[in-house]
Amino acid sequence: MLLTIDHVMFPVYLGDQLLDEVEWTWKDRGYGKVFREAERSEFLPLYCQSNQFYVEYLSNRSTFSYWSNAVFVVVPKQFWEYYKEPALLSEHFLIPYFGSGYQLVSPDFPHLNSKLSGGTDEGFRLLVSPDLYKVLSRVADQEWTLPDHIEPHSDLKHMHDMAVLDAEGRLVAPLYEANPALKGYF
């Protein structure tokens, strides 16, 4: 089965001004559909949509302080039972454990990237740690083929270490955050 990457989330804490800089950079580079939604109680969101997956940058609120980078993969709910004690389970999302680097999203989620219109094919690539790459190939104890636009990167060491690159090899996300492993992409 081919594993579908729906989106990649990069949260920052109380980083509303950082979102302004990221939005300006994405629009300046002409990435197509870059947009915000209204602030929610948990976060202020910024999105960059492509046909492959969208990038979600969030400015979290202090009342919801534990978030980490995550790849959201579309997995049929019949496989969710594999996770006996998930960290979070809702109608459309399952977090296997905090800091896992990935979350499951239901094929019924109304805001799946495949259901949204206006995405452009930017040629985004997702770099993840080798450990996360291995885990993603066995999500919910199933064998998955990973799409060509996801690659392991040996300098990324933690399950939540990831980066999105554009077709020119420039960093799309995370931007303006300290991560020496990504210095070659600035």
- How much is the pLDDT for 144? 98
Residues of the chain with pLDDT under 70: 65, 117-122, 179-186
Whether the pTM exceeds 0.75: the reply is yes
Alpha-carbon span 183 to 178, nearest angstrom: 9
Sheet strands (E) in 21-139: 34-36, 43-49, 54-60, 70-74, 88-89, 93-95, 102-105, 125-128
Dump pLDDT digits (tens) for 113-167: 887 765 566 689 999 999 999 999 999 999 999 999 999 999 999 999 999 999 9
List phi, psi (to 5°) of 123. 70, 30
Q: Would you state the pLDDT for residue 21? A: 95
Q: How far apart are CA 72 and CA 150, in angstroms?
A: 13
Alpha-carbon span 180 to 150, nearest angstrom: 20
From residue 69, how far is each of 81, 100, 142, 143, 179 by CA, in Å?
23, 9, 23, 23, 13
Amino acid in the structure at residue 122: E
